[in-house]
């Protein structure tokens, strides 16, 4: 089957509805494009679990605050389509902002819970309202049975799960592990902003997390000491400026002092002017 490309929500939804009527299950992979190998791991997971895979490519304006990188976010739709076709993706949904948010648009999904108030939510106050709104719309437009998200944005997974549960959306959410470069750097469309020296410096993110993970595996359970290990390693990199390092339960994102249940150790760091995030999940024994 040749890969379909839809730009209008109604056409995407009509096609998805016909697929469902034919008894096929639909897996959705939402993306903002500038696709890399990390996105492809989502496509593969979706293909494995669903009859039909729909990828969305949409730089969602409502999840960017003024002054963030909405305008300069990399857009390369043609290359994206080539990559998606090679993975055997069945359909791509690539709407214009005006098709998703036409004049008069006024219904937002505003998750009001612990999951949106900390970490990224504390730094980017409107971000998760934009994410929850667009993801809910995408799930409805594509009639998704399953939706695939990367652990790279673990907090996003927690927020989407909360949303799906609270709104009784009939979608199963799957989290796919972080895909990294050989250097350890988590793959990200924003890595394109990094100059060569910065790209090298950016390896400190995963290195610092690995240091804490190794200590955790060796028995360290103090959240304070695990966070301190990460901060210590980050402090050794002159090009890095820490935004936050935090350890919280996952997916509830509650504070912890001792890691006894599944927790998320997450960080956001500026390398030059580029803000990067990374994380590791520490599996508690409970
Ligand atoms: P984005 O295009 O950055 O909005 O990402 C789209 C989806 O791909 C999100 O669910 C991300 O978490 C996921 N993703 C991005 N980078 C990676 C990565 N390195 N490994 C796994 N998933 C990723």
Q: Which of 42, 186, 206 to mutate to test the pocket of ligand 1 (most atoms within 8 A of CB)?
A: 42
Residue 286 lies in a domain: no
| Same structural domain, 126 and 210 | no
- CATH code, domain with 205: 3.30.1300.10
Task: Say how many domains are in the chain.
Answer: 2
Q: Which domain holds residue 207?
A: 189-278
| Same structural domain, 75 and 209 | no
| Same structural domain, 172 and 193 | no
Residue 101 lies in a domain: yes
Q: Give percent of the chain with pLDDT exceeding 70.
A: 100
Instruction: Give exposure, 23-42, as e/b (b: 16+ Cβ within 10 Å).
Output: eeebbbbbbbbbbbebbbbb
Q: Give percent of the chain with pLDDT exceeding 90.
A: 98
| Same structural domain, 255 and 200 | yes
Query: Which residue, judged by its Cα, is nearest atom 6 of ligand 1?
Result: 31
| Same structural domain, 161 and 235 | no
Select from 117, 145, 176 the last residue of a domain.
176
| Same structural domain, 134 and 57 | yes
Distance from the Cα of residue 28 to its chain's centroid: 13
| Same structural domain, 137 and 230 | no
Residue 58 lies in a domain: yes
pLDDT at 285: 74
Residue 283 lies in a domain: no
| Same structural domain, 126 and 221 | no
pLDDT at 284: 79
What is the CA angle 269-272-277, rounded to 5? 25
CB atoms within 10 A of CB 19: 18
User: Rounded distance, CA 172 to CA 147, Å?
Assistant: 6
CB contact at 8 A, 249 and 154 = no
- CATH code, domain with 169: 3.40.50.620
- Across the chain, mean pLDDT equals 97
Ligand 1, CB cutoff 6 Å, lining residues: 31-32, 38-39, 41-42, 149-150, 152-153, 176, 178-179, 186-189
Select from 148, 176, 204 the last residue of a domain.
176
| Same structural domain, 197 and 147 | no
| Same structural domain, 10 and 131 | yes
Tokens encoding 103: 């004049």
Residue 204 lies in a domain: yes
Q: Which atom of ligand 1 is nearest to the CA of 35?
A: 2
Split at pLDDT 50, 70, 90, the class of 194 is very high
| Same structural domain, 135 and 203 | no
Residue 98 lies in a domain: yes
Split at pLDDT 50, 70, 90, the class of 1 is confident
Tens digits of residue pLDDT in 166-181: 999 999 999 999 999 9
Q: Please check the confidence at residue 42 and state whether its pLDDT lies above 70.
A: yes
Split at pLDDT 50, 70, 90, the class of 83 is very high
Select from 142, 176, 210 the last residue of a domain.
176
User: Rounded distance, CA 5 to CA 106, Å?
Assistant: 27
Distance 44 CA to ligand 1 centre (A): 13
| Same structural domain, 137 and 260 | no
Active site residue 36: no
Q: Exposed/middle/buried for 157, CB within 10 Å: 0-12, 13-18, 19+?
A: buried
Distance 38 CA to ligand 1 centre (A): 6
Q: Which helix (H) or strand (E) holds 206?
A: helix 203-217
Residue 181 lies in a domain: no
Residue 229 lies in a domain: yes
Tens digits of residue pLDDT in 231-282: 999 999 999 999 999 999 999 999 999 999 999 999 999 999 999 999 999 9
Split at pLDDT 50, 70, 90, the class of 72 is very high
- For the question of whether the overall pTM of this predicted structure is more than 0.85, the answer is yes
Q: Tell me the mean pLDDT in the region 195-199.
A: 98
User: Rounded distance, CA 149 to CA 177, Å?
Assistant: 9
Tokens encoding 150: 């990367």
Q: Please check the confidence at residue 286 and state whether its pLDDT lies above 70.
A: no
């Amino acid at each position: 089957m040749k890969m379909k490309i839809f730009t209008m929500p109604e056409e995407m939804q009509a096609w998805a509805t016909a697929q469902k009527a034919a008894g096929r299950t639909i897996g959705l992979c939402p993306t903002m494009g500038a696709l890399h190998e990390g996105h492809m791991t989502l496509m593969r997971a979706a293909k494995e679990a669903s009859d039909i895979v729909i990828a969305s490519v949409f730089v969602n304006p409502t999840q960017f605050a003024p002054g963030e990188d909405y305008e300069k976010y990399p857009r390369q739709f043609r290359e994206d389509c080539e990559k998606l076709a090679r993975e055997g993706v069945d359909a791509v949904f690539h709407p214009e902002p005006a098709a998703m948010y036409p004049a008069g648009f006024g219904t937002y999904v505003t998750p009001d819970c612990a999951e949106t108030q900390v970490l990224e939510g504390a730094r980017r106050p409107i971000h998760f309202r934009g994410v929850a709104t667009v993801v809910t719309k995408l799930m409805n437009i594509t009639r998704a049975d399953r939706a695939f998200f990367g652990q790279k944005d673990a907090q996003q997974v927690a927020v989407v799960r909360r949303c799906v549960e609270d709104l009784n959306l009939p979608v199963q959410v799957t989290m796919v592990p972080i895909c990294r470069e050989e250097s350890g750097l988590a793959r990200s469309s924003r890595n394109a902003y990094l100059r060569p020296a910065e790209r090298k410096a950016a390896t400190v993110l995963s290195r610092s997390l690995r240091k804490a993970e190794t200590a955790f595996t060796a028995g360290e359970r103090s959240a304070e000491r695990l966070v301190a290990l990460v901060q210590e390693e980050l402090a050794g990199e002159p090009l890095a400026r820490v935004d936050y390092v935090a350890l919280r339960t996952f997916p509830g994102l509650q504070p912890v002092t001792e890691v006894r249940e599944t927790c998320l150790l997450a960080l956001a760091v500026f390398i030059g002017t580029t803000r990067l995030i990374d994380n590791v999940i520490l599996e508690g024994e409970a």
